[in-house]
Amino acid sequence: ARVIVTGRRLAALEAAVEQIGHNATGIRGDISNAADLDRLYSTVEKQVGRLDILFANAGGGEFRPLGDITEEHFDKTFAINVKGTVFTVQKALPLMPAGSAIVINGSMVSVKGLPAFGVYAASKAALRSFARTWSVDLKDRGIRVNVVAPGTIVTPAYKSELGLSDEQIEGFKNQAAALAPLGRTGTADEIAKAVSFLASEDASYITGIELFVDGGTAQI
């Protein structure tokens, strides 16, 4: 299979391509920028001609309580998580044949009331709503649309994007683990397996769902 990876951070993009191997291509870009999306899909069309699976994984945001939310914070979070994802999916459609699959990266916080997560959680709840309507919009083409909703997955972005110290990250992990019935945080590999399932023929009769991969946190 050919894999196309896109992202803003060049070092992370190159590392992902190296890990995947010779069938992977990295295209640097920002999904909140329409011109970058157009360039991405123009390259995809030239190199591979079609997309059988789209995993809309980009996202991020700062965490602020209601009294500290600014317009800049709100607009930035929604530009990436909502607007960017909407047009990532929309602009991919001409390349997606009948029977293909779309998986959107949501979050379990979309259904949980966690302090300071208001804007981020709302942006992820919006994606879950879009998945419902898109599964109907695309039914005549047989394109399935599902959401994977991770729990707490500690990645390098906690340092590089959020600027948290090792001590803060460890405290956050312990807090999250205490909330999960399974008593721990998850791994990126566990999320990848769930995405692979939703994108595969094993999930051929599944569309419009939100699959929580969160150690049970959202269910209690």
Q: Note the pLDDT tens digit of each residue in 26-73.
A: 999 999 999 999 999 999 999 999 999 999 998 888 889 999 999 999
Residue 161: is its pLDDT beyond 80? no
Closest to 154 in 3D by CA, of 171, 141, 138, 178 = 171
Q: What is the mean pLDDT of residues 128-139?
A: 98
Between CA 21 and CA 33 the distance in angstroms is: 27
Report the number of distinct structural domains present in the chain. 1
Residue 160: is its pLDDT beyond 80? no
Domain annotation covers residue 126:
yes
Beta bridge partners of residue 186, listed in sequence order: 153
pLDDT recorded at residue 164? 80
Q: What is the mean pLDDT of residues 196-219?
A: 98
Structural domain including 114 reads 31-219
Domain annotation covers residue 10:
no
Residue 158: is its pLDDT beyond 90? no
Beta strands in the chain (DSSP E): 3-7, 24-28, 53-56, 101-105, 144-150, 210-213
Residue 9: is its pLDDT beyond 90? no
pLDDT recorded at residue 20? 93
pTM for the model stands at 0.94
Domain annotation covers residue 17:
no
Strand 24-28 to strand 53-56: parallel, antiparallel, or no bridges (unpaired)? Answer: unpaired
Q: Which of 41, 120, 158, 205 is catalytic?
A: 120
Q: What is the CATH number of the domain that holds 163?
A: 3.40.50.720
Residue 208: is its pLDDT beyond 80? yes
Between CA 16 and CA 5 the distance in angstroms is: 8
Range name among 14-28, 96-110, 190-204 with the lowest pLDDT average: 14-28
The single residue listed with the structure tokens 């945080």 is 185
Range name among 9-13, 25-29, 51-55, 185-189 with the lowest pLDDT average: 9-13
Domain annotation covers residue 15:
no
Domain annotation covers residue 196:
yes
Domain annotation covers residue 139:
yes
pLDDT recorded at residue 152? 93
Per-residue pLDDT band for 177 (boundaries 50, 70, 90) equals very high
The single residue listed with the structure tokens 């459609």 is 93
Q: What is the mean pLDDT of the chain?
A: 95
Note if 120 is an active site residue: yes
pLDDT recorded at residue 200? 98
Domain annotation covers residue 63:
yes
Domain annotation covers residue 24:
no
Structure tokens at 166: 């090792």
- The tens digit of pLDDT for each residue in 84-110 reads 999 999 999 999 999 999 999 999 999
